Structure 1
Amino acid sequence: MANSLISIQILPKTKDGEDVIPYVDEAIKVIQESGVKYEVHPLETTMEGELQQLFDVITKMNDRMIEIGSKNVISQVKILYQPSGITMDQLTGKYR
């Protein structure tokens, strides 16, 4: 069972004030390619997995933003670390 949930909102500084949505789409693609369980929400994306694994995904997301032309990136992150195990369903399943 996963030991962490991390929600991230990534805010890339785009060239000449371009729309950020294509950048956010690329960030979500990095998450998809990582293989971790995730859910996209309107203002953030939540990932489920091992803490270090999720930190590695965040690093790749930030690196990707720079690769595609962002000058810098702000990543707003919320972390729930629970060594005994935690899943998104445990927290929100009753609402589905």
Structure 2
Amino acid sequence: MNSANVSIQVLPNVPEEKLYPVVDKVIEYIDSTGVKYEVGPMETTMEGDLNLLLDIVKKSQEICIKEGAARVCSVIKIDYKAEGVTMDEKIYKYR
């Protein structure tokens, strides 16, 4: 499958002082997968095989729960086209 972009914003239901540490665990996991990604102030965008990225989304939810969230709501955005899509084609002119 060609490259897709998936953005994830996790919103774990934890006390405020635990919010960033839980989100950091998710970002650490994303980093460990080897996919291309960029962290933004509101979400993290990944690039790669859509099935792999959706597995990462699922695992990200599980990480939040494991780290103490009673519940996690997430915002997911997917950009997919048959010939593939890259982050660079979208943002190269802003770099």
How far off its partner does 1:2 sit?
4.2
Indicate if the aligned counterparts of 1:2 and 1:87 stay in contact, CA closer than 8 A. no
1:85-96 equivalent positions in 2, closer than 5 A? 85-96=84-95
* TM-score normalised per structure 2: 0.93
Give the unaligned 5+ runs of structure 1.
none
Report the equivalent of 2:11: 11
SS of residue in 2 equivalent to 1:28: helix
Residue 44 (1) aligns with residue 43 (2): yes
Cα separation, 1, equivalents of 2:84 and 2:29: 24
Show CA shifts across 1:59-92 (max 9, x none).
Answer: 1111111111111111101110112011100010
| Distance of 1:82 and 1:39 partners within structure 2 | 20
Conserved 8 A contact 1:11-1:73: yes
Q: Quote the Cα distance in structure 2 between the aligned partners of 1:57 and 1:2.
A: 17
2:9 maps to amino acid: Q
Cα RMSD between the aligned structures? 1.3
Identical columns (%): 46
Unmatched segments (≥5 aa) in structure 2: none
- Deviation of 1:18 (Å): 3.5
| Aligned AA (1:5) | N
